[in-house]
Structure 1
Amino acid sequence: MNVTLNNGVAMPALGFGVFQTPPETTADTVAEALRVGYRLIDTAASYFNEREVGDGIRRSGLDRSEVFIETKLWISDYGYDQALHAFDKSAGKLGVETIDLLLLHQPVPTQFDKTVGAYRALEHLLAEGKVRAIGVSNFMPEVLAELLAQTDIVPAVNQVEVHPYFTQRDVQVANAAHGVLTQAWSPMGGITSYRGDDSTSTFNDPVIGAIAEAHGTTPAQVMLRWHLQEGRSAIPKSVKPERIASNFDVFGFELTGDELAALDGLDTGVRGGPDPVTVTPEAFHRDIPEA
């Protein structure tokens, strides 16, 4: 199942993420995901496993043209020239000449000039054919509007936290108004499992559980199907082969309108990840190595 981005590029709607996947297990995990059927792999410079993602893709035996590679530049490499060099670092680690989708990982409100400079570098890379599509991540509506006012190309994707407990409806509406695809990180609400109380996790939610039971599926499959039916891209992650396979097995059932509405109604408004307005180079500095 593909979605068509605003520049005409086709991208798999369901991808495989490697956030917090240890480098030593990333190659095997990626190869297994590709064996199962995933064709979109999402990584980032700040995950420190791009090289292993490239190894896993090559290990799969698939032709490069069959795998859609998405990665993100970290804020430590913002600014026009810095972002151009950051692309070289990421492409070198991945072992590819072209990256299918390149995102800015976060806006930096305190240094928005550098954020704009980095995005203009992405525009240049797109014009040069070094990337096939460009986008952003964790951009709230007002920040997205500010970026659009200072640049030429509308982002193809805005990857943000979206799951049944945190739907960010205002972000989704703003994205759609500009023709930007919403892509969900933590799409099953895995981040809610870190709150210390299992009862607050989406995986134990009785509404989601009842829908899963009605379809003979898992809560995770219900949540991923919810994303796809509402037109979003989703990037689940796992290091367990059985869950990697299960998360991909979401194309054989369909949620009803009432079930979709019930899932929408679970929104708590509570963000699991960091608030994008708090991201600063001082608090979130990470040195991205050359190789």
Structure 2
Amino acid sequence: MTETAAEATGTAAPGTTAEPRTTAELAPGVVIPLIGLGTWPMAGGEATGAVARAIANGYRHIDTAENYNNEEAVGEGIRRSGIDRGDLFLTTKFNRQWHGRTAVREAFGAATRRLGTEYLDLFLIHWPNPSQGRFVEAAEGLTRLAEEGLIRCWGVSNFKPAHLRELQAAGLEVPVNQVQIDPETQQPDQLAFHRGHGIVTAAYSPLGRNGSFLSAPVVTGPGAEYDRTPAQVVLRWQVQSGRVAIPKSADDRRQRENLDVFGFALTEAEMAGIDALDTGAPPRLDSDEFGH
């Protein structure tokens, strides 16, 4: 890959950015917006409305999955928006029943039919399911889809370093891994592995679930300094740390706020303050044991 997310988020003077970059390159010619719309657990009309509204608000990156049971609704939201498909970065993920070189092709066909699109920008293995022992085959199937131009890029989600090493041992270089990252759950060993191997990190649940850290002084202080919400400060911390972030919101105002994080920058001290919120807690679900 020619540019990592870390390289895509250079900062200028504290509180401002000069020509801020809002994207990163996963593979040659494959550019991903650093802020995307998460769609879990929305479904039906809520998901359709949220997607259409987000696109109207300027989002160009939408994230969904087979297991969210909302791909049809997401596809309808895209159609209602009137956006040209080529202007949108669309990510989805598939379940373990499709782990295998040929089964991945079936997963692709089913996903594109549900979404109403001919291709995917990013197709992810949702969970490694190591007890099943077929995620390497699934990744090999994904590389073939990419070679054929059916998907623009492939990647994984919830893969630990041990799982990623298995892929590397098979000669597969992973462009992106989507994992749970928030100020209290930073998974430093995971992130260090990504940095060391050129893997872009995409953070799901980037604002956490209970959001208790949003009231921490190291978050509210910069928020007051730059006239930003705590959520904007945390999302700025995510992208300034070199990560893609995928916050979920169906609310018009919050969608616009979540996307508006490129007009200011945190100082090194402010970044370090949020870094220090890490509790060492593991992700909510252990990918050696959980999967679908």
Q: Answer yes or no: same fold by TM over 0.5.
A: yes
Aligned to 1:88: 109
Q: Bigger CA drift: 116-125 or 1-10?
A: 1-10
What letter is aligned with 1:110? S
Output the CA distance in 2 between the equivalents of 1:272 and 1:111: 21
What letter is aligned with 1:188? L
Output the CA distance in 2 between the equivalents of 1:51 and 1:154: 31
Give the Å deviation of 1:272: 4.5
What letter is aligned with 2:184? Y
Aligned to 1:169: 188
Percent pairwise identity: 41
Aligned to 2:249: 238
Other structure's SS at 1:244 match? helix
The answer to whether residue 124 in structure 2 is matched with residue 103 in structure 1 is yes
Other structure's SS at 1:110 match? coil
1:191-202 paired onto structure 2 within 5 Å: 191=209, 193=210, 201-202=212-213
Assess if the C-alpha contact under 8 Å between 2:33 and 2:60 holds in 1.
yes
Other structure's SS at 1:97 match? coil
The answer to whether residue 200 in structure 2 is matched with residue 181 in structure 1 is yes
Q: Bigger CA drift: 202-211 or 114-123?
A: 202-211
Give the Å deviation of 1:176: 1.8
Structure with greater helix percent: 1
Note the residue ranges of structure 1 that are not aligned, 5 or more in a row: 194-199, 285-291
Q: After TM superposition, which residue ranges in structure 1, 4 or more long, deviate above 4 angstroms?
A: none
Aligned to 1:157: 176
Assess if the C-alpha contact under 8 Å between 1:105 and 1:138 holds in 2.
yes
Q: TM-score, normalised by structure 2?
A: 0.89
Aligned to 2:155: 135
Aligned to 1:27: 48
Other structure's SS at 2:242 match? coil
Aligned to 1:196: none
Other structure's SS at 1:278 match? coil
Give the Å deviation of 1:81: 2.4
Give the Å deviation of 1:49: 0.6
C-alpha distance after superposition, 1:23-43 (max 9, x if no partner): 221111101001111100000
Aligned to 2:229: 218
Aligned to 1:271: 282
Q: 1:255 aligns with which of 261, 266, 282?
A: 266
Q: Larger relative CO (CA 8 A, sep 6+): 1 or 2?
A: 2
Give the Å deviation of 1:271: 2.9
Q: 1:119 aligns with which of 139, 146, 162?
A: 139
Give the Å deviation of 1:138: 0.7
Give the Å deviation of 1:170: 1.2
Other structure's SS at 2:155 match? strand
1:5-84 paired onto structure 2 within 5 Å: 5-84=26-105
Aligned to 1:145: 165
